[in-house]
Amino acid sequence: MSNEFSAKFQCINGCSQQFELSEILYRCPTCGDLFEVQHDMDKLKKKSSEEWKALFESRYRKHEWPYGSSVWGKKELVCPNVESENIVSTYEGGTNLFWAERLGKQIGLNDLWVKQCGMAHTGSFKDLGMTVLVSMVKQMIADGKNIRAVACASTGDTSAALAAYCAVAGIPAIVFLPKDKVSLSQLVQPITHGITTLSLDTDFDGCMKLVQEICSKENIYLANSMNSLRIEGQKTISFELAQQFDWGTPDFVVVPGGNLGNVSAIGKGFKMMYDLGIIQKLPRLVCAQAANADPLYQSYKDGFNSFKPQRAQKTLASAIQIGDPVSVKKAIRALQAFDGIVEHATENELANAVGRANRTGLFCCPHTGVALAALEKLIQRGEIKSSDRVVVISTANALKFTDFLYNYHNNSLPGVESECAFSSIDLPADYNQVRDAIFKAID
């Protein structure tokens, strides 16, 4: 029975009171700070690391509900409090760990891997956390809690994930999007699932304020990552990486950061495996920000002594155009615990990093470009060595960002000098002209 294990909400500042995961609370009533999900580690430690690994391997991508999902295959470490019949899953996780041999050689690494988290049901890694949150909501509704709907503010991918999971479960949802700041595909995703889609004349930070107010006053459940249930799902990125390296640990994990839930989630996942003896070593974490929205980078430069929210400037990496990240404290703690680094990338750097990577067969979104550009800088500075095993977290599927790619290859992105401009060749259907064009291209 899963109920032999248990997890509760506890404030990140250690205020003593714990709360059930089924309580509708997002912040500590004593100090107002965020919660994190605290697992009963003593119970988890009763199983040996060998037993855990064998259990996870036996479930991985198999049929038995819900354990074939790589999130729910680690249910005891993720969210033991939900009954399997209430789990809302699209068989998430288990994404490809791509050996980027050619790109690695070009940028000076022998052991570069790209974790293809965008190869997911809704095309981004947000599915990993959303399956946990929506499952818990379904459990709460089954237990008689009065929840009319679930809502989130989003830069595009959270709303797509919330919409899909609520549509699977038949739970009403509302998404708050900043007008003209998400891609057409991201706007279409909640619409096609029949989810109430609000396009507001503000930025992400403005949407965030409004959705928090609505959720605090109405019986609407908040699905943003300040709700730490989502962090529990996102941390399975680390479980999966260890598993895919046959329970080994890479030297560095590079992830793009906006609201900063994910960098802390990745840290939490590795720490938990380490405490259970499943892995023997912790990686170093790198958080990569767009230079146009880089409050964490500025804080890092100051030794994390201060943190100043920004008004985020427009960036091609629209999912991380966030100036006032909700999980900043968690992120700073994770980076300090994992000997972390924060780096940033300009529009020109992130776009050309995508251009170079895609020439080697990858298919990257602009956020993955931020991570790759940051990685290139760290290699150039010698902070990452050619022999280090590095994983870049690719956070979304580039098919959501075809406008960006099209404009990049046409060299028509403002502030970007496209180093890999490349476009289709328009020709009449004439043998000689086609042959001449081919040999001009491949010579």
Ligand X SMILES: *Cc1c(COP(=O)(O)O)cnc(C)c1O
Handedness of CA 320, 321, 323, 324 (dihedral sign): negative
Rounded-to-integer distance, Cα 92 and Cα 372, Å: 24
Q: Pick from Zn ion, ligand X, none: which does 269 bind, CB < 5 to 8 A by kind?
A: none
**Distance in angstroms between the alpha carbons of the first and the last residue of the chain:** 65
Is 147 within 8 Å of 174 (Cβ atoms)? no
Q: Which of residues 386-425 bind ligand X (CB under 6 A)?
A: 395-396
Residue 61: helix, strand or coil by DSSP?
coil
Smallest distance, Å, CB 303 to Zn ion?
A: 25
Is 317 within 8 Å of 373 (Cβ atoms)? no
Q: Pick from Zn ion, ligand X, none: which does 11 bind, CB < 5 to 8 A by kind?
A: Zn ion
Stretch 31-60: interaction string toward Zn ion, x if CB under 5 A: x-----------------------------
Residue 285 or 319 having the CB closest to ligand X: 319
Is 88 within 8 Å of 165 (Cβ atoms)? yes
| Number of chain residues interacting with Zn ion (CB under 5 A) | 6
Q: Pick from Zn ion, ligand X, none: which does 31 bind, CB < 5 to 8 A by kind?
A: Zn ion
Rounded-to-integer distance, Cα 320 and Cα 260, Å: 9
Residue 299 or 395 having the CB closest to ligand X: 395
Residue 157 or 376 having the CB closest to ligand X: 157
- Amino acid identity of residue 115, one-letter, is K
**Secondary element (H or E) of residue 125:** none
Stretch 339-378: interaction string toward ligand X, x if CB under 6 A: --------------------------x-x-----------
Is 233 within 8 Å of 129 (Cβ atoms)? yes
Rule CB under 5 A: say whether 413 interacts with Zn ion: no
With CB under 6 A as the contact rule, the residue among 73, 257, 283, 355 that binds ligand X is: 257
> What order do you get walking across the sheet with 111-116 strand by strand?
97-99, 111-116, 389-394, 252-256, 284-290, 341-345
Of 12-20, 26-34, 254-262, 301-309, which part binds ligand X (CB under 6 A)?
254-262
Residue 238 or 259 having the CB closest to ligand X: 259
**Lookup: tokens for 22:** 């089924």
Rounded-to-integer distance, Cα 359 and Cα 425, Å: 18
10 DSSP β-pair partners: 18, 36
Q: What share of residues in the chain are helix, strand, coil (percent, to 5)?
A: 45, 15, 40
Handedness of CA 360, 364, 367, 371 (dihedral sign): negative
Q: Pick from ligand X, Zn ion, none: which does 30 bind, CB < 5 to 8 A by kind?
A: Zn ion
Q: Pick from Zn ion, ligand X, none: which does 233 bind, CB < 5 to 8 A by kind?
A: none
Of 89-97, 190-198, 253-261, 347-355, which part binds ligand X (CB under 6 A)?
253-261
Rule CB under 6 A: say whether 157 interacts with ligand X: yes
Q: Which of residues 296-335 bind ligand X (CB under 6 A)?
A: 319-320
Phi, psi angle pair for 124, to nearest 5° = -150, 170
With CB under 5 A as the contact rule, the residue among 11, 112, 288, 319 that binds Zn ion is: 11
Rule CB under 6 A: say whether 116 interacts with ligand X: no
With CB under 6 A as the contact rule, the residue among 258, 283, 323, 369 that binds ligand X is: 258
Smallest distance, Å, CB 100 to ligand X?
A: 18
Stretch 117-146: interaction string toward ligand X, x if CB under 6 A: -------x-x--------------------
> Considering just the CA atoms, what is the radius of gyration of the chain in Å?
22
Of 5-13, 135-143, 251-259, 342-350, which part binds ligand X (CB under 6 A)?
251-259
Is 336 within 8 Å of 264 (Cβ atoms)? no
Question: What burial letters (b/e) apply to 294-324, b meaning 16+ CB within 10 Å?
Answer: bbbbebbeeebeebeebebeebbbbbbbbbb
Is 344 within 8 Å of 298 (Cβ atoms)? no
Interface residues with Zn ion (CB under 5 A) are 11, 13, 15, 28, 30-31
> Residues interacting with ligand X, by CB under 6 A?
124, 126, 157, 225, 256-262, 319-320, 365, 367, 395-396
